[in-house]
Amino acid sequence: MKFFIDTANLKEIDEARSLGMLDGVTTNPSLISNESVSNQKEIQKHYISICERLKNEENVSAEVISTDYDNMIQEGEKLSLLHPRIVVKIPITKNGIRAIKYFSNKKIKTNCTLIFSTGQALLAAKAGANYVSPFIGRLDDLSYNGLNLIREIKNVYENYHFKTKILGASIRNPLHIIECSKIGIHAITSPISVVYSLLNHPLTDIGLEKFLKDFKKKIK
């Protein structure tokens, strides 16, 4: 399973790279607004800096802000011209679906975001999205089972051999990552803190402490 990092923060991206856990990056308007950027020029420069940290097969999702079709197209085209590693992230709306179809015809890669139902994921795939981002944690927050959505989408995509890749998003805890890997989706996108939490096990800590204590008792 691919590990994408859900951040626009360059330090976190570098940290994920040094861990060997970086297959791609996803951003969204909220994450971009947390960085020191205050206008379009700075945002564009920031996206380019992210792209330059990635390898050829990796990509970064950059989301459009516009909600009307013409501006979505204009914005998405500009984003895609910034760097070949940009994937244009588009929300699942009527205009969004039309825009995804347009970009798919032009071979510009898209990630359809804010997916909360199987029906939305089906439309995104039919429009030709390269990725869909179902939001697991935000569904869990409302007492819906986010992982069930992932299972359903995988099932539907397999029924019809859709090429759209499932990118599990809104990851909040290590079980989300583990369950996604058991379901067998292409990738998850997670904050780096949740990736670190996969490391935690008290028996590892106890075991390491004992190994070092035993060693130091006998060996100078």
- Comparing CB distances to ligand G3P, the nearer of 135 and 157 is 135
Q: Which is nearer to ligand G3P, 85 or 89 (CB)?
A: 89
* Residue 89 a catalytic site member: yes
Q: Which amino acid is at 107?
A: K
Amino acid at 182: K
The dihedral formed by the CA atoms of 138, 144, 146 and 151, expressed in degrees to the nearest 10: -160
Minimum distance from CB of 100 to ligand G3P (Å)? 17
Q: Closest CB to ligand G3P among 23 and 201?
A: 23
What is the DSSP secondary-structure string of 114-137? EE-SHHHHHHHHHHT-SEEEEBHH
- The catalytic position among 89, 106, 126, 165 is 89
Residues 6+ apart with CB under 8 A from 62: 27, 47, 79, 82, 86, 87, 88, 89
- Closer residue to ligand G3P in complex, CB, 113/118: 113
Tell me whether residue 127 or residue 139 sits nearer to ligand G3P (CB atom).
Answer: 139
Measured in degrees and rounded to the nearest 5, phi and psi for residue 179 equal -65, -40
- Distance from C-alpha of 98 to C-alpha of 72, rounded to nearest angstrom: 10
CB of 49 to ligand G3P, least distance (A): 19
Q: List residues binding ligand G3P (CB under 6 A).
A: 6, 26, 28, 133, 135, 137-138, 169-170, 189
The secondary structure element, H or E, covering residue 35 is: none
Distance CA 190, CA 7 (A): 8
Q: How far is the CB of 207 from ligand G3P (least distance, A)?
A: 33
Q: How far is the CB of 177 from ligand G3P (least distance, A)?
A: 12
Could you tell me the two tokens for 26?
A: 């996803």
Whether the Cβ atoms of residue 46 and residue 32 lie closer than 8 Å to each other: yes
Nearest one of 87, 92, 80, 125 to 109, comparing CA atoms: 87
Minimum CB distance to ligand G3P, residue 17 (Å): 19
Residues taking part in catalysis: 89
